[in-house]
Amino acid sequence: MSENAANIIMDNKICKDALVSELQKKKVHLFYCLECEELAHKIAAESDHITLQSINWRSFADGFPNLFINNAHEIRGQHVAFLASFSSPAVIFEQISVIYLLPRLFVASFTLVLPFFPTGSFERMEEEGDVATAFTMARIVSNIPISRGGPTSVVIYDIHALQERFYFADQVLPLFETGIPLLTKRLQQLPASEKVIVAFPDDGAWKRFHKLLDQYPTVVCTKVREGDKRIVRLKEGNPAGCHVVIVDDLVQSGGTLIECQKVLAAHGAAKVSAYVTHGVFPKSSWERFTHKNNGSEEAFAYFWITDSCPQTVKALGDKAPFEVLSLAGSIADALQI
């Protein structure tokens, strides 16, 4: 057999394998909450195997939800998913009402996509009487009814504390994903002349992310208590002359990131950027990071977040230094697992 003929046979085999793989993909019907409409459309654009479905989100005069799942009969025997955003206690009840019903509509399987697990930072008790609401939320999710295909799959990105995976009961199958591949892809697009290193604001961030970013030199900061204050200091590594990217799972007020940036700049960092998977930013705290165009050098060159918190993405628009790295492709892939 000639080399050319062998190459043709190999190419045909590759095409055949790709076709078989494509045919084996699940066709998923994706429902979504109102906050996640933009992200849902991005997910559907990633795959011909994802079809968007709709829900009528209405309220009765007393404020309680008046909900209707469209095409309920058509999804029998189909793979179904729901894209949720538990951005506040006010929206959780109506979404849980839908989430608890969908698996009972004789669907082949059910997947809950909850990109941001909102109570994740309230996972421990420091004194008797503290309420670990992360455990409460996990119990609520764990009680999703079993569908014809078995337990519900729950897709969560960069949950705050890794031990929280054990808060979920056996009735659900948690799938913990990460947004770090989006960051590494973006860092590869930076100019080759920039010497990029990764900084972790504390030991917790280092423990959960350093193995995913081991291709980069690292710097670790730490918080030490001085009287009533918690001071950020450099623990290890040398940021001098580098573009330092601070990496963490989420940001709230942003105080720790700002203090970390000051420490890195004081130790000679040429440029400082930040990445968090979840830009929570309560009370519009993101405003303290925006470039004000006042001629002074800005503290953060880039601030990357994902679209796990849709309200934040909507508020930010295209304000520098923020860039949104979409989870859409990753979620589309997760729906095929």
Upstream peptide bond of 321 is cis (omega within 30 degrees of 0): yes
C-alpha separations of 246 from 132, 159, 333 in Å: 28, 18, 27
Is 289 in a helix, a strand, or coil?
helix
State how far the Cα of 100 lies from the Cα of 130, in Å rounded to an integer.
28
Structural domains of the chain in order of their starting residue, each with its CATH number: 28-177 (3.40.50.2020), 180-326 (3.40.50.2020)
Q: What is the mean pLDDT of residues 116-125?
A: 80
Residue 301 · residue 281 · CB < 8 Å? no
* pLDDT tens digits, one per residue of 136-180: 999 999 999 999 999 999 999 999 888 888 999 999 999 999 999
pLDDT of residue 295: 37
Strand order in the sheet with 303-306: 229-236, 218-226, 196-200, 243-251, 271-279, 303-306, 322-325
Q: Is 281 exposed, middle or buried (0-12, 13-18, 19+ CB in 10 A)?
A: buried
State how far the Cα of 287 lies from the Cα of 336, in Å rounded to an integer.
37
* pLDDT tens digits, one per residue of 282-313: 999 999 999 875 434 579 999 999 999 999 99
Residue 212 · residue 203 · CB < 8 Å? no
